[in-house]
Amino acid sequence: MDNSKIRIPLQISKGIIIVPIRYEVTHSIIETLKSDLLDFVSEHDANAVIFDLKGVAILDAEDFEGLNKIIQMIKLMGLETVLCGLSPGIVATIVSLDIDLRQVKTALDLNAAMDLLAV
């Protein structure tokens, strides 16, 4: 599959942008997502973003760093972020790389993430 053509569909529900990542993450997907998501945030009235990684089995350090930069950009724009659907492989990578996620909320699945952000 040509990764340069993959676009992650962005959805908004109750002021929460949902980013369902269903592909193995690559540099080109991260770059496209960064551009699309920043445009989407500026065009919609939202207060949070959920990154649903249910479809991703493994995330290497470089790709996680790219995703983390997107999360930091979103936070600078004033939106809360939640990561959900983390596979055991991703959790193992986060722990083995000693990545600090104290500033990022996490949830087991999309429903739990929505509940976590409920006002």
| pTM, rounded to two decimals | 0.90
* Tens-level pLDDT at each residue, the chain (119 residues): 555 567 899 999 999 999 999 888 888 999 999 999 999 999 999 999 999 999 898 888 888 889 989 999 999 999 999 999 999 988 888 888 888 777 889 999 999 999 999 85
**Cβ-based burial of 74 (10 A; exposed 0-12, middle 13-18, buried ≥19):** buried
| C-alpha to C-alpha distance for 99 and 95, rounded to whole angstroms | 6
Domain parsing of the chain, residue ranges: 3-105
Question: Residue written as tokens 């980013």?
Answer: 19
| C-alpha to C-alpha distance for 89 and 97, rounded to whole angstroms | 12
CATH topology for 3-105 is Transcription Regulator spoIIAA (3.30.750)
| C-alpha to C-alpha distance for 78 and 116, rounded to whole angstroms | 17
